[in-house]
Amino acid sequence: MPKFLVLIFVLLISLHSGATNIRCQNTEYAGKQLGFYRPSDPVSGETELYFTLKFDASGKAAYSADIKTSTYVFSEFGVYRGMLFLEPGKTIELKLPPFREKSFADQKNPYFAPVSFWVITEKGTDVNDKISAFEQQLNYLADKNFNQLYMFQSKTVYDSVKIQLAQLVPATAEATLKNHAQLKIESLEADIFRKRPESYAAVFNNIQPEYWLHPAFLEFFNKTFDKQLSFSAQAIKGEEVKRAVETHDIQALAAFAEKKYHLTGKTTDLALLKMLHDAFYSNEFSKKAILNLVKAGRFTKNSNELIRTTALNISRKITFMQVGSPAPVICLQNLAGQKVCTNSTNDKFKYLVFADSETMVCREHLKYISRIDELFHKNLEIFVILRDTDPKEMLAFFDANKVPAVLLVDKGDPFIKAYKVRSFPQCFLLNEQHLVVFDNAKAPLDGFEQQFGAWLRNELFMRQRNQSK
């Protein structure tokens, strides 16, 4: 019996050996929740919530997850963006900085960028501590030797910097640290000596897919292949690239990438997806052709799951809110607390105005909605989706200005996120079936009445003509 119990005990330990424990104790974070996200794929920029670290009233938090491989996550809280690697079977005691909320100006600034840093641990010996030390030394040496490196391109100084950085990554270092350091140094070298992507892109052939979602790879890979399909199309013999895109010749494009950048295997597929993603926004190629290429079986039926996910995410991204596509239905409470949905009626066009009533710019746009309503009330229903701000200020403004629109409050920003709104005001025009009408609907003061007026006259004329046939 004792031997049997020992066997069960050993088995239980082995089953839980991959569990990663994240802990933190910091009274400044009492009652807060930090959502940690990870990239969904290496190209689209989409992210997914990985876990939430919840702090109790005393500032203590704990989370446990079954991590199979080294996983990169990040969290944005206050003015910070904390980056973290989770390693299988490790316990991490996080050491967070003093909490600092965004200022009023930071909250209203659409270009605000949080301060990025690597989260260190209480022990100081975790892989995150080592990467943090490596990054600090890299930045220090690059700044210290800036002129010699970037202006005079001194090979001697670069070699010295490389040697000093290598001392932080011994042969016994974790694979995550080795990979991170290698790509950072390769990226530094490419910048200093102004290397063309085709001269060094083959380095990505040796990076295993398990590292494709790590930040050093994401940064260097996306910088390397940024807009490369467009550049190649503009170069001598660029007609071959354009023809391959227009004819949906995925094999020709793959051969082009392999020959020019010396790529092999799955790296070719990932690089092609990155180049097709950028090409879609370049306006140099047929958007329909790019979409068809992204949907090719080479990507959607690829044996590599990350390639399949990347293709799917890019496809969703480039078709999101395109003309004729369905827009997400918004269901929110109005200022009176009643639930209203944007698809509750189907007899008028719908003008969605995402706004922040605390900013002067938005207030002026909101005041002008009365003119929009005066001109188009027979054909247009106006919805204002408000950022959740001070309720008293919000009510006072709308009581004073009597904005003729359905006013909805987006508490927690679910629909601001769903519509990918980054700055205010941002507007969308939908038809009666809740389908997108314009690629870029203008804001009230930016010419919406001219944009919609001209389109509406033509649309009503065409509908009347079709009915008379």
The Cα 22–Cα 27 span in angstroms is 17
Per-domain boundaries in the chain: 2-124, 133-319, 331-468
State which H helix or E strand residue 272 sits in.
helix 265-280
CA distance 332 to 263: 49
What mean pLDDT is predicted for residues 130-134? 98
Q: CA-to-CA distance for 460 and 464, rounded, in angstroms?
A: 6
Count CB-CB contacts under 10 A for residue 469: 4
Task: Encode 158-178: b = buried (16+ Cβ within 10 Å), e = exposed.
Answer: beebeeebeebbeeebbebbe
pLDDT of residue 15: 43
Residue 8 has pLDDT above 70, yes or no: no
Instruction: Compute the distance between CA of residue 197 and CA of residue 448 in angstroms, rounded to an integer.
Output: 43
Q: Name which of 245, 178, 217, 301 is nearest 41 in CA terms.
A: 217
Question: How confident is residue 238, by pLDDT bands cut at 50, 70 and 90?
Answer: confident
CATH topology of domain 331-468: Glutaredoxin (3.40.30)
3-state class (DSSP) for residue 96: coil
pLDDT given for residue 462 in this prediction: 87
Encoded tokens for 71 = 């996983």
125 φ, ψ (degrees, to nearest 5)? -120, 5
Q: Please give the pLDDT value at position 3.
A: 53
pLDDT computed for residue 9 by the predictor: 45
Question: pLDDT tens for residues 21-36?
Answer: 999 999 999 999 999 9
Would you say 260 and 275 are in contact if contact means Cβ atoms under 8 Å apart?
no
- The model's pLDDT over 263-318, given as tens digits with 9 standing for 90+, comes to 999 999 999 999 999 999 998 999 999 999 999 999 999 999 999 999 999 999 99
Percent of the chain with pLDDT over 90: 88
Mean pLDDT within 161-173: 96
**pLDDT at 18 (0 to 100):** 62
Give residue 408's pLDDT band: very low, low, confident or very high (50, 70, 90): very high
Cis amide leading into 414 (omega within 30)? no
| Average pLDDT rounded to a whole number, residues 107-113 | 87
Q: How far from each other are the two terminal CA atoms of the chain, in whole angstroms? A: 90
Instruction: Provide the pLDDT for residue 404.
Output: 96
Q: How many CA atoms lie within 13 A of 124 on its CB side?
A: 0
SS3 letters across 166-178:
HCCCCCCCCHHHH
Class of domain 2-124 as given by CATH: mainly beta
DSSP designation for 95: E
pLDDT at 413 over 90: yes
* pLDDT, tens digit, 9 for 90 and up, residues 342-378: 999 999 999 999 999 999 999 999 999 999 999 999 9
The per-residue pLDDT for 110 is 81
Helices 265-280 & 305-319 angle (0-180, nearest 10): 10
Which pLDDT does position 466 carry in this prediction?
80
Q: What is the pLDDT of residue 236?
A: 75
**What's the pLDDT tens digit per position in 434-467?**
999 998 999 999 999 999 999 999 998 888 888 7
Residue 214 has pLDDT above 90, yes or no: yes
What is the C-alpha separation between 163 and 403, in angstroms, rounded?
65
51 sits in which H/E element = strand 47-54
Predicted pLDDT at 14: 43
Pairing of the two strands 349-355 and 115-118: unpaired
What average pLDDT does the chain have? 93
Residue type for position 275: M
Distance CA 298, CA 276 (A): 13
Average pLDDT over residues 318-335: 94
Report the pLDDT averaged over residues 48-66: 96
